Amino acid sequence: MATKYLFFTGGVVSSVGKGVTAAAIGRLLKERGFQVAVQKLDPYINVDPGTMSPYQHGEVFVLDDGAETDLDLGHYERFIDIRLSRVCNVTTGQVYAEVIGKERRGDYLGGTIQVIPHITNEIKRRIAAVSKSTGAEIVLVEVGGTVGDIESLPFLEAIRQVRFDIGRENSAYIHVTWLPYIGATGELKTKPTQHSVRELRSIGITPDMIVARSDYPVDDSIREKIALFCDVEKRAVVPMVTAPILYEVPLLLEEAGVADYLLQRLGLQPRSRPDWTDWERMVDEVRRPKQKLRIALVGKYVELHDAYMSVREALKHSAIHLGVELDIQWVHSAELEKGRGWDILETVDGMVVPGGFGSRGIEGKIEAARYARTHKLPFLGLCLGMQLMVVEFARHILKDEEANSTEFDRSTRHPVIDLMPEQRDISDMGGTMRLGLYPCELQPGTMAADAYGIPVVEERHRHRFEFNNAYRQIFEKNGMRFSGISPDKRLVEIAELSDHPFMVGTQFHPEFLSRPNRPHPLFFAFLKAVCQHAGLQKSANPLIVTAE
């Protein structure tokens, strides 16, 4: 069969859940037996979000092949339970870099390089690359930003041309908008949606479906109005009332008949009947009132929870499967340095120190790790979190008060965390870290090995610094165990404390591989330790899984 394409655009305002909608629709199609892939087209000029501040962009999501991508790819992978690759995130920066590179090589000799056709052709080539490299039968393509943005015009023109190239029967446009609520009159307004559809049509795209996000119930008359003014069938106007539980979205879209409509539009018959039993049980489980676990997330971008999206989701996945509810306390590590926020740490049953870059708030995180160690509080350190757990250990157990990572003190006399040799001569910032999937051998009899239950795992990385092997022996002698090591024995991948209920740090980012239906084993083991610390009874929850 010819590859089918679903294009997602956004209208009215950003942040209305376009990425989650695409991810959820991808899941509906997978449930019907189709192989799907999702691609995000980002209009910014950065080559990838790797060099952007999390304040600007939220988390950077890392794929198996080391691509540093938009956080929406995390939604796609988690909702659909697939693994995506580099071709699935395209930015204006990548497109221009490619075209300008070709121009300099003389590939267009004699020609004037223009947005149409050169830039749009390169975008189309990248859209086509997804099915070629993944074998997907249905490719969902999300255009970042909102219709009306200057930056997204070449992408919109490219997706318009795709329909012209492959035909209406092989493509559909889904426009995700927002219905504002006017409190004074108590009504939802469709006018902004009408305007954004008009804008879309002025550039040649007529939506086949409108997903109208709203914080309030959307009645039939609103749907009829949108259908009439925007020229879509009424059953293709899909109200998406804000779901209190993120993972409810596929169920809501299922109920609205979205997949059946889209398959019909694309001339496809479902190959299997969707089975939502497990998914429904999972959502019911989230709804069920449960005992709360308080966990401190000690970071430096805590004002923007999106900066730790995958960490939060990974914690949630494990909580669901352990039958507990999470109460995440966002603790700013720079505040800890000023003596504030310590009272929060006294109330929690576990602590996570996630990844990060740069020196702001570092000392606060080191002190937080010290608190977790001395109070026997379950602790999970992710990348930077692991590195600072090591620094803390060196300072207070080995009594090397000046111990540090050379990221924060280049001339420290005790560089327990140091730049990887292969990183020394690199001066470019973008895409130059140790990125993507690398194997890790688990050392028998450790907490990490117990948690995974298998001897070798592959996890996603994003770092420049590593544990300095000159210190391995002395650390081991004093109670730190290196429970995960690279197969060539060169790199410490996991460190843990032997005389602590659970103090584990990973050089990699386990959060990227956690799934709602398959919590990550290390997060799961961490939360089990948190339950124990909180004195919670072993849950009778039927959803409890033995983490693989």
The whole-angstrom separation of Cα 437 and Cα 508 is: 9
- Phi, psi for residue 520 in degrees, rounded to 5: -70, 135
User: Least distance in Å: CB of 414 to ligand GLN?
Assistant: 17
Nearer to ligand GLN, 175 or 365 (CB): 365
Q: Nearest-CB residue to ligand GLN?
A: 355
Options 75, 509, 520, 533, the catalytic residue: 509
Q: Taking the complex as a whole, how short is the minimal distance between the CB of residue 364 and ligand GLN, in angstroms?
A: 15
CA-nearest of 543, 422, 440 to 488 is 440
State the pairing for strand pair 237-241/209-214: parallel
Nearer to ligand GLN, 62 or 266 (CB): 62
Complex with ligand GLN: residue 144 or 356, whichever CB lies closer: 356
Q: What is the C-alpha separation between 385 and 112, in angstroms, rounded?
A: 51
H or E stretch at 173: strand 171-178
Shortest CB 232 distance to ligand GLN, Å:
44
235 vs 360 by CB, closer to ligand GLN: 360
3-state SS string for 187-248 = EECCHHHHHHHHHHHHCCCCCCEEEEEECCCCCHHHHHHHHHHHCCCHHHEEEEECCCCHHH
Please report how close the Cβ of residue 355 comes to ligand GLN at its closest, in angstroms.
3
In angstroms, the CA 60 to CA 460 distance is 12
Give min distance, CB of 407 to ligand GLN, in A: 5
531 annotated active-site: no
CA 390, 392, 393: angle at the middle one, nearest 5? 65
Q: In the complex, what is the shortest distance from the CB of residue 331 to ligand GLN, in angstroms, rounded to a whole number?
A: 17
CB 456 within 8 A of CB 502: no
- CB closer to ligand GLN, 18 vs 463: 463
Taking the CB of residue 340, how many other CB atoms lie within 10 A of it?
Answer: 13
**How far is it, in rounded angstroms, from Cα 218 to Cα 206?**
23
What gap in Å lies between CA 345 and CA 470, rounded to an integer?
33
Kindly state the tokens that stand for 371: 């608190």
Q: Looking at 441, 493, 496, 511, which residue is catalytic?
A: 511
β-sheet with 209-214: strand ranges across: 89-91, 36-42, 138-143, 4-10, 171-178, 209-214, 237-241
Q: Which is nearer to ligand GLN, 313 or 407 (CB)?
A: 407
509 in catalytic set: yes
Q: For 413-491, where are the E strands, in sequence order?
A: 415-419, 434-442, 456-463, 465-467, 480-485
Q: Residue for token digits 């691509």?
A: 67
Q: Where on the chain is the footprint of ligand GLN (CB under 6 A)?
A: 355-357, 383-384, 407, 462-465
- CB closer to ligand GLN out of 150 and 429: 429
- Catalytic one among 59, 230, 317, 383? 383
Which structure tokens are listed for 456? 């070798």
For the question of residue 230 being annotated catalytic, the response is: no
Residue placing its CB nearer to ligand GLN in the complex, 464 or 515: 464
From CA 129, how far away is CA 127, in angstroms rounded? 5
Work out how close the CB of 299 gets to ligand GLN at its nearest, in angstroms, rounded to a whole number: 10
Shortest distance, position 464 Cβ to ligand GLN, whole Å: 4
With beta carbons less than 8 A apart as the criterion, state whether 377 and 350 touch.
yes
Q: CA-CA distance, 382 to 511, in Å (whole number)?
A: 9
What positions carry a catalytic annotation?
A: 383, 509, 511
